[in-house]
Amino acid sequence: MVDLTGLHKHFILEHLGEGDVAVDFTMGNGGDTLFLSKTVGENGRVYAFDIQEEALISTRAHLEANGAPKNYTLICDSHHKVKEYVKEPIKAGMFNLGYLPRSGKKFITTMRETTMPAVEAAIDLLAPDGALIVAIYPGHEEGALEGDMLREYFKTLSKYRICASEFHILNSPTSPYFYLIEKSPRCKE
């Protein structure tokens, strides 16, 4: 069976390495933050966003328990405000849209109103040869709507600047899926 999380990491590792800058746009319990932190190492930098204080507490504990380098900044704010905190180009970013796993608060989810500006800002911050993963969870209404909105947006991006790919399990329509957004290495923006 396809391991979507493994595929996320595979694609990110094609673009991200020691000393790079990365952003976890939806830190949750810190799984992606830990992966990014260990990938960029002591000389890299990771910024991680979540609107829930309990996500920061959970992520900090996860990072400390798993020996993450002290190269991260945990930010209790919306991911759409990324440019207020991140001033340098990023080589990778990860979004896991939806709600905080194991929180019991499924009513607190990412929303189209902040997801779209966050994704636009992420693409703008993306360095040449950088990549974004945007994981969609269509099993709840807002997740399905976010996925549809982003699909339409990604279709409008210049193929000379951005490669936008979509990865689905075809015979399971409510299973999570993801978008891979790669900026051309020749992009001079």
What tokens appear for 73 in the block?
Answer: 């900044």
Ranges of each domain in the chain: 4-183
Cα 75 to Cα 47: distance, rounded to the nearest angstrom: 7
Domain 4-183: which topology? Rossmann fold (3.40.50)
Portion of the chain with pLDDT greater than 90, in percent: 63
Q: How do residues 85-135 score in pLDDT, each as one tens digit?
A: 999 999 999 998 765 455 455 555 666 678 899 999 999 999 999 999 999
Name the pairing type of β-strands 45-50 and 126-136: unpaired
Q: What does the pLDDT read at residue 176?
A: 86
Strand pairing class (21-24; 45-50): parallel
Predicted confidence band at 175 (pLDDT cuts at 50, 70, 90)? confident
Residue 143, Cβ density class (10 Å: 0-12 exposed, 13-18 middle, ≥19 buried): buried
Mean pLDDT of the chain: 88
Per-residue model confidence (pLDDT) at position 100? 43
The rounded distance, in Å, linking the Cα atoms of 23 and 60 is 15
pTM: 0.91
Out of 22-26, 105-109, 156-160, which region has the weakest mean confidence (pLDDT)?
105-109
Average pLDDT, integer, range 50-61: 92
**Quick one: the chain helix, strand, coil %, rounded to 5?**
35, 25, 40
